Chains A and B, each alone.
Chain A
Amino acid sequence: MVGIVLREIFWELIYAPVWWYTFGAVGAVRRFYERLKEGNQYLGWSVWLTNIFTPMYAQYDLTGRLISIGVRVVQAAVRSVLLIVWLAVSLGILAAYFLVPLIAMVEIIYHWQLILS
């Protein structure tokens, strides 16, 4: 009986952090990647980039092409900035996954020592 309680406590409290930085971390990185893909899909960033020399609105004349490239470069730039912001947010979430438990642990130890002293 006591064995079971100890086993469960061990499994829940000791194994949890191990899992967090191993199997759990793999999941977190995968979710980060999915989030980036979603951002690209939403902003159409790669679509704009691959079509940078394709004239917009089927204007195949020279003026059309020139205007089109101008607009597309601006568009691609704006979208790139937005994507970078999105990347930063995603990275923030990923960093939080890895760092917050560590910070919490450090804080706990720090305050624990404060109490002891």
Chain B
Amino acid sequence: MPRLAFSCQHCQGTGRLPDETCQSCFGIGHGIILGGYLVYWQKNLTKEEFFLDHFSLVVRLTIRLVAFLLALSGILYAVFKALLDISVGRTFVFFNLPLEDGAESLFFWVSIMAIFYIYSGLERDLANLKRIPSRVYEDEVRPQSEAASFDSRHRLNIADTLAPDVRSVLADAFVLAEKLQQPLGAIHLLFVLLRHASVRTVLARLGVNPAELGGKAGRLTALNSPAGPNDLETIFFQAYVRAYGDRQKNIDPVDLFAAVGTVDPRSREVLYDAGVDEQKIDNVLAWHLSVKRQYEQWRHWRIGSRHRPRNRLDRAMTAIATPTLDYYSQDITELAQWGMFLPTVSRGEMVDRVVRIFQGGRSAVLVGYPGVGKRGVIEELAERLAADDVPAILKDKRLVSVSIAKIVSGATPADAEARLLKLLDEVAYSGNIVLVIEEIQGAVGITSGQAGSVDMAAVLAKTLRQRRTLCLATTTPDDYKRVIERTVLSSLFERLNLDEPSINETIQIVESRVGRIEAKHRVYFSYDAIARLVELSAKYIHDRFLPQKSLSILDELALFTKEHRGQDIIMTVNDVDLFMSQKLGVPLSRVNKNEAELLLHLEDRLHERIVDQETAVTAVAEALRRARAEVRDQKRPIANLMFLGPTGVGKTELAKAVAAVYFGEQNKMVRLDMTEYQELASLSRLIGSAEGGSAARGILTEAVRSNPFALVLLDEIEKAHVDVINVFLQVMDDGRLTDSRGQTTDFTNVILIATSNAGTSFIQEAVRSHMPMPEIERQLMESELKHHFQPEFLNRFDNIIVFRPLTTEHVLDITRLMLRKVGERLAEQGVTISVSDEVIKELATLGFDPLFGARPLRRVIQEKVDSPIARLILEGRLERRDQIILESAGKLTVKKAERL
């Protein structure tokens, strides 16, 4: 907000010349020029001044008290005399009170005077409190810099604009400073403000405990280094600028609190310490203001709608009864009149546009996805109509929502058409109706079926045009494109696109709606909780739109928090994280100590399932740590990795381990065998096809849409058609994929892993000839992989990890790993197994194939270990605490445990 500092040249900004008050600045000295006013702060913050103020107040109140007693006794005396008169049988005449001339009548008239005096006192008090002038656009204000150019009406002392509450805060702060024997400073103001109810509400919304904050401020006052009066002046200037910017009428305690928190460094330190920064204060104040304004607007509409007739006729009685219309419709203006709608946020501009279109004599269609607030526009228009807060063309009109579904239900198309015609006739004759047709696409394609019959939409369009009926329709962008564009309806309607509101707008919308839920569950939302809820729902819920997707979970969230933490608490970010992570099945909450420990030792966790492959395990662990600490690029998948290497070396196993560790279970995985996508035609299987219904949806896009937190495993990617591979370029770069229906699927929460056997023979050859790994990787990238993939595809991977062929040592380790799993399964039945090193070696030799890696090992263990054990169990030869000794492959002995 542009504002100019003003300082008088004649008195150097002091307001005083050596012997007198500076005449050229009227003693103002310095101030700011804002909105065409010269604003200054003039209040002596001295003991004498406070005493004088207080004393004046006491004198004033005493005079008023005396006047009140006088008025009361005078009236009571007159009543007493009248009753006395009646009791002796005289008739009472109002204008002829039984008061005797002289003292009695004098007393009575003085008491009447006293009543008028008290009334005038209250009125004068209100008039004395100067209002902050309404905010104007700076270009409407003439630039001035001399105090003389501001007449007395354009000079404003901030001290006169303080709300009574702020005056008493100032006085209390002064008393506190006196008690501490310190000059009045910002910290005293802060301390007193923290006890004020409205400030406490703000703090509650900020999730701060006022008592704790008060303690900190209290300790700081004890430090005895208070700020001087100049700081206070800056604070009041800041409070004024804030109140002016927010179009407030006076400076209230909350404005002062915000100013103290932003201007005074020590108060700011106290607030920072409690996690409150300027941005947060601003946001919460905006919340309070917007809720207050919405309430005022809503009240204005309520009052305005009182004059509206309660029946269906207009005030001029030009309308007719509309029985058919009434049956198939709902009068939205009537609902508004009964106060059925909640206040709407940021829909005003769109309603203005609708009204302008109506003024031009045309109809409007709101085009927007479900849940973006089309109904909000209709409701706000209805509110305005009910309060007659509309231009002449819409005055005294009612907004009636026709249900297409109701018209067509239980009727043949011909009946439906007849109903529609009758209804439109009534609308036209009545003349006070603005039609609302929600989801207008429902009317398209309904015909009576006979030769020469017309579409219901055509009937609608023709009648609306002929009768000049105003209509507000809604539809979705897809349906608009599909059924309305380039049809008879499109020429009738002016299109208005209703976009999904921004995160910030959604926060405001949610803020305006939480009141009801807070009252219902007695759980109170902090600003951070709302902001987090909106942020998370925007990020993670993809099948619906803002603000609906945030609003729809408010109730559930409040209930969840109540169940977990009880009533009368303030919801924090942690509660939202906990709820959303349970609802969505993803780790959202801040990394706690245990998890941090786990993440730091992720390699060990992965090695519980993977033998060796150090490079691969480290690369994956690093990627996951980056993701969980939220330092990754939020607009790409969590990680794009390519696993290269011969078959059976643990590529898929590592992918499963990642899914288990990061997403909680190993089947949180979308696994695509890319050998199935060797033809270009198979692309439609992957991302769906433009024709057909839900059956034609893409396998990949649908899987990720329904489970956005998953690992996408592309097995044997080199086998896929080159155009299929190209589809993944977008996924890896932008974290999203648009399917053939134009819907975008979010991939920013997936881990994308492609495995490939490309260059296997080269790797095996190179390892055999003891080529170092970095050299193998270099050669692979430079020559081998280029035969299979385009460079832009390879460049998009965060890491291309080469899995080394397994050595005998590794196979032995894998055998041990697998046998340990067998042991774990047996442990559930209370049986132990012991295997000697020779047996392990024997199994490893059997299970290892240079061509297939360790893949045959699983089969060998099944045959040689699992199957004989299964037979033992079935024959009933195994009991709890028995020990199985594996002697050689396939030969088992059971060591029976001692009987208890």
Query: Interface residues, chain A, CB within 8 Å of chain B?
Result: 1, 4-5, 7-9, 12-13, 16, 19-20, 23-24, 27, 41-42, 44, 47-48, 50-51, 54-58, 100-101, 104-105, 107-108, 111-112, 114-115
Contact between chains at B116 and A101 (CB < 8 Å):
yes
In the complex, the 9 A-B pairs of residues with the closest C-beta atoms, listed nearest first = A111-B106, A51-B316, A8-B59, A107-B109, A111-B105, A58-B320, A58-B429, A47-B315, A44-B315
Least CB distance from B126 to A in Å reads 9
With A12-B121, A47-B396 in contact, do A58 and B63 touch (Cβ < 8 Å)? no
The reply to whether A104 and B112 contact each other, CB–CB distance below 8 Å, is: yes
Decide if B63 touches A8 in the complex (CB within 8 Å): yes
- CB-defined contacts of B123 to chain A, threshold 8 Å: 24, 27
Task: Taking A8-B56, A111-B102, A111-B105 as given, write out 7 further A-B residue pairs in contact, using a Cβ cutoff of 8 Å, ordered by the A residue number.
Answer: A7-B56, A8-B60, A41-B307, A104-B109, A107-B105, A111-B101, A114-B106
**What are the residues of chain B within 8 A of A4 when measuring CB–CB?**
52, 55-56, 59
Given A58-B320, A111-B101, residue A16 in contact with residue B56 (CB < 8 A): no
Instruction: Please indicate the chain A residues that have their CB under 8 angstroms from the CB of B319 in the complex.
Output: 57-58
CB proximity of A52 to chain B, nearest CB, Å: 10
- Among residues of B, the one whose C-beta sits closest to the C-beta of A3 is B52
Q: Which residues of B contact A19 (CB under 8 A)?
A: 120, 124
B residues 71-113 in Cβ contact with A at 8 Å:
101-103, 105-106, 109-110, 112-113
- Docked-complex contact B103 and A16, CB < 8 angstroms: no
Q: Is the CB of A108 within 8 A of B109?
A: yes
A24 touches B101 (CB 8 A): no
Write out, one digit per residue, whether chain B residues 298-333 have a CB within 8 A of any chain A CB (1) or not (0). Answer: 000000000100000001111111000000000000
Give the Cβ gap from B160 to chain A, nearest Cβ, in Å: 15
B64 contacts across to A, CB distance below 8 A: 12
Distance (whole angstroms) from the CB of B378 to the closest CB of chain A: 25
Contact A16 B317 (CB under 8 A): no
Contacts of B102 in A (CB 8 A): 111, 114-115
B-side interface residues toward A, CB under 8 Å? 52, 55-56, 59-60, 63-64, 101-103, 105-106, 109-110, 112-113, 116-117, 120-121, 123-124, 127, 307, 315-321, 396, 429-431
Contact B116 A54 (CB under 8 A): no
Write out the residue numbers on chain B whose beta carbons fall within 8 Å of the beta carbon of A105. 113
Which residues from A are CB-within-8-Å of B317?
Answer: 56-57
Q: What are 28 of the A-B contact pairs (CB < 8 Å)?
A: A7-B56, A8-B56, A8-B60, A8-B63, A12-B117, A12-B121, A16-B124, A19-B124, A24-B124, A27-B127, A41-B307, A42-B307, A44-B315, A44-B316, A47-B396, A54-B316, A55-B318, A56-B317, A58-B429, A58-B430, A100-B112, A101-B116, A104-B109, A104-B112, A111-B101, A111-B106, A114-B101, A115-B106
A62 to B168, CA, bound (A): 71
Which B residues are CB-close (under 8 A) to A101? Answer: 113, 116
Given A47-B315, A54-B318, A55-B318, verify A1-B121 contact (CB < 8 Å).
Answer: no
Q: Are A115 and B103 in contact (CB under 8 A)?
A: yes
Give Cα A56–Cα B315 distance, bound, in whole angstroms: 11
| Closest chain B residue to A15, Cβ basis | B124
Overall SS of chain A's interface: helix
Chain B residues whose C-beta falls within 8 Å of the C-beta of A115 in the assembled complex? 102-103, 106
CB-CB under 8 A from A55, the residues of chain B are 318
Say how far B426's CB is from chain A's closest CB, in angstroms. 10
CB closest residue in chain A, given B116: A101
**Bound Cα distance from A104 to B70, whole angstroms:** 15
Q: Which of B55, B109, B121, B431 contacts A58 (CB 8 A)?
A: B431
Q: Flag if B103 contacts A44 (CB, 8 Å).
A: no
Q: Which of B315, B316, B429 has the most CB of A within 10 A?
A: B316
Give bound CA distance, A76 to B63, whole Å.
51
CB distance from A39 to the nearest CB of B (A): 11
| CB–CB A104/B116 < 8 A | yes
Contact B110 A57 (CB under 8 A): no
Query: Are the CB atoms of A48 and B316 closer together than 8 Å?
Result: yes
Contact among B59, B124, B320 with A57 in the assembled complex (CB-CB below 8 Å):
B320
In the complex where A44-B315, A54-B318, A57-B317 touch, is A108 in contact with B116 (Cβ < 8 A)?
no
* Given known contacts A1-B55, A47-B316, A108 and B113 CB-to-CB distance under 8 angstroms: yes
Contact between B318 and A108 (Cβ–Cβ < 8 Å)? Answer: no
Q: List B contacts of A20 (CB < 8 A).
A: 116, 120
Q: A4-B55, A20-B116, A47-B315 are in contact. Are A108 and B110 (CB under 8 A)?
A: yes
Give min CB distance, A22 to chain B, whole Å.
Answer: 11
Give the residue name and chain of the A residue nearest to B431 (CB): A58
Closest B residue to A112 using CB positions? B106
State in angstroms the CA–CA spacing of A5 and B639 once bound together: 80
Complex formed: what's the CA distance from A54 to B56 in Å?
64
Q: How far is the CA of A87 from the CA of B117 in the complex (A)?
A: 26
Query: A8 CA to B106 CA in the complex, in Å?
Result: 25
Residue of B nearest to A55 (CB): B318
Nearest-neighbor residue (CB-CB) of A9 within chain B: B63
**Chain B residues, Cβ within 8 Å of A58:** 318-320, 429-431
Cα–Cα, bound, A8→B62 (Å): 10
> Could you tell me if A56 and B106 are in contact, using CB atoms closer than 8 angstroms?
no
The CA of A94 and the CA of B342, in the complex, are separated in Å by 39
Q: Identify A111's interface contact among B59, B109, B121, B320, CB under 8 A.
A: B109
Enumerate chain B residues within 8 angstroms of A23, measured Cβ to Cβ.
127
Residue numbers in B under 8 Å from A27 (CB-CB) = 123, 127
Interface centre among B56, B116, B429 (most CB of A within 10 A): B116
How many whole Å from A4's CB to the nearest CB in chain B? Answer: 6
Residues of chain B lying within 8 A (CB to CB) of residue A51: 316, 318
Q: Give Cα A78 to B155, complex, Å.
A: 51
Q: Using Cβ atoms and an 8 Å threshold, which residues of chain A touch B316? A: 44, 47-48, 50-51, 54
Q: Which residue of B lies closest to A116 (CB)?
A: B102
Q: Which residue of B lies closest to A7 (CB)?
A: B56
Residue in B109, B127, B315 with the greatest tally of chain A CB atoms within 10 Å: B109
Q: Could you say which residues of chain A place their CB within 8 Å of the CB of B320?
A: 57-58
The answer to whether B59 touches A5 (Cβ under 8 A) is yes
Instruction: Tell me the minimal C-beta distance from A24 to chain B in angstroms.
Output: 6
B396 neighbours in A (Cβ, 8 Å): 47
Of chain A, the residue at the smallest CB distance from B67 is A12
Q: Which residues of A contact B315 (CB under 8 A)?
A: 44, 47
Minimum CB–CB distance for A69 against chain B, Å: 13
Assembled-state Cα–Cα distance A8/B110 (Å): 20
Residues of A within 8 A of B116 (CB): 20, 100-101, 104
Q: How far in angstroms is the closest Cβ of chain A from B425? A: 11
Q: How far is the CB of B161 from chain A (nearest CB, A)?
A: 18
B63–A13 touching, CB < 8 Å = yes
Q: Pick the contact of A16: B59, B120, B321 (CB < 8 A).
A: B120
A59 to chain B, nearest CB (A): 8
Please report the C-alpha to C-alpha distance between residue A101 and residue B106 in the assembled complex, in whole angstroms. 14
- The CA-CA distance from A100 to B33 in the complex, in Å, is 45
Minimum Cβ distance to chain B for residue A64 (Å): 11
The complex places the Cα of A58 from the Cα of B127 at a distance, in Å, of 51
- The answer to whether B101 and A104 touch across the interface, beta carbons within 8 angstroms, is no
- Would you call B117 and A108 a contact (CB within 8 A)? no
A104-B113 contact, Cβ under 8 Å, with A4-B59, A19-B120: yes
Residue of A nearest to B57 (CB): A8
Which residues on the B side are within 8 Å of A1 (C-beta)?
55
Closest beta carbon of chain B to A88's beta carbon, Å: 18
Question: How many angstroms from the CA of A4 to the CA of B321 in the assembled complex?
Answer: 71
Do A24 and B120 contact each other (CB < 8 Å), given the known contacts A4-B52, A51-B318, A105-B113?
Answer: yes
Q: What residues of chain A lie closer than 8 Å to B103, measured between beta carbons?
A: 111, 115
Q: Which residues of B contact A44 (CB under 8 A)?
A: 307, 315-316
- Chain A residues, Cβ within 8 Å of B127: 23, 27
Distance between Cα atoms of A85 and B709 in the complex (Å):
74
Q: Chain B residues with Cβ under 8 A from A104's Cβ? A: 109, 112-113, 116
Give the docked Cα–Cα distance between A55 and B430 (Å).
12
Q: Please indicate the chain A residues that have their CB under 8 angstroms from the CB of B429 in the complex.
A: 58
A16 to B123, CA, bound (A): 10
Closest to A49 in B: B316
Within 8 Å by CB of A12, from B55, B60, B105, B431, lies: B60
Q: Which residue of A lies closest to B52 (CB)?
A: A4
